[in-house]
Amino acid sequence: MNKPLSMPARRDLRQRMIEDMSVRGFSAKTQHDYQRIVSRFAAFLGRSPDRATAEDIRRFQVEQREAGMPAPAMNSHVAALRFFFTTTIDRPDLSRKLIRASYPRKLPTVLSPDEVARLLAAATCIKHRAALSVAYGAGLRVAEVAALKTGDIDSERMLIRVERGKGGRYRNAMLSPDLLSLLRTWWLEGRRQGAMLPGGWLFPGQNPVKPISTRQLARVVEEAARAAGLTKRVSPHTLRHSFATHLLEDGVDIRVIQVLLGHAKLDNTALYTKVATRTVRTVTSPLDRIVGRRRSRTAGQPHSAAMSRAATTVATFGSPITAAAIGTARSARAQRRGLGLPSARPTCCRSAISTSSSPCQPRSPTWLGRTRPSSTICCSGRRPRR
């Protein structure tokens, strides 16, 4: 086990961690989150985090769970501390003591096309309406919308160029004619107001030199949802979920949707098959097929086997028998077998195969070598006449 760092090294611990993250290409947001988490862990210990023990890590995670911290937030702490212990201070034995919390993945909230239209119409500012339209019309993440520049709009190829999206990946997003018209309207208005600089941000903040913040876009969505009367919990990412779900319901191939969303794994895109209600409604249940075949068989001619038996009976007894009569006789025999009664048919005036028009006769057919009592109830439910 390595020895704890010396005092001068501990003073440079934060800078050393920043350098390690910069070498690995971590984004500014990730670096900020990791530093905040390690600082919180140091505050919990009351001393430098490089002097932590396995028991300290266990107590820290127990306190997080008892405080009600969500599982995703706990896993973020695990990732930051693992990087700190493994890379910065070279203590992989401590990183193995960190436990990731498992949790069920919830289905995303999706708006209907009518709800999306109401949400966009509720955004009265042309700038905000254009930003929300880009989030829905191109399926961009909120950080990708905020980072767009005017030069990223390719009107000739009808594409939106996304630079350094999630994971530092580049991709092209779709640009519809209606979205392009709205962006041109905003561009003219922004130039008139002096908020949009040449070659600057497509959606600048209060200071035109800086882009609009993701928190500001989140507040815009919340206010628009409240004005539109939506009861669902809506965020900027809800528009991205709705974009993917509506494309899937319209029959777009799921791999095309994966490319448009910039997903590295198809499993992430396949999640939208669980919320695409229009796609689910088009699937025919096996129960409907069975019931449909039974209805068509009942509406048409009887089954060939039943018809052949009916023809044989008619030829033998000279009396027509319908499929319903055959089914009734089968049901009666099954009931008698279940009650332990003999399976022989009683001679009845109402029987479909009876050749006599006289009332039920007190006949006593043999059954298993014994004589049945003459008081057997006939198929009409009445006792035979004596």
Q: Which residue out of 77, 240, 241, 246 is catalytically annotated?
A: 240
- What is the Cα–Cα distance from 28 to 145, expressed in whole angstroms? 17
CA dist 324 → 218, 245, 344, 352 (Å): 67, 50, 20, 11
CA dist 9 → 4, 12, 17, 83, 296 (Å): 10, 5, 11, 18, 84
Q: Which residue out of 97, 127, 141, 246 is catalytically annotated?
A: 141
Catalytic-residue membership of 226: no
Catalytic-residue membership of 240: yes
Phi and psi of 222, rounded to 5°? -65, -45
Q: Which residues contact 305 (CB under 8 A, 6 or more apart)?
A: none
Eight-class DSSP state of 138? S
Q: Which residue out of 263, 309, 336, 372 is catalytically annotated?
A: 263
Sequence-ordered alpha helix ranges (H) in the chain: 7-11, 13-23, 28-45, 54-66, 71-83, 92-95, 113-122, 126-137, 142-146, 177-193, 214-228, 236-249, 254-261, 266-270, 277-281, 286-299, 304-317, 323-339
Q: Which token pair is 252?
A: 């777009």
**b/e per residue, 333-367, with b = 16+ CB within 10 A?**
eeeeeeeeeeeeebbbbebbbbeeeeebbeeeeee
Catalytic-residue membership of 241: no
Q: Which residue out of 237, 333, 336, 372 is catalytically annotated?
A: 237
Catalytic-residue membership of 263: yes
Catalytic residue list:
141, 166, 237, 240, 263, 272
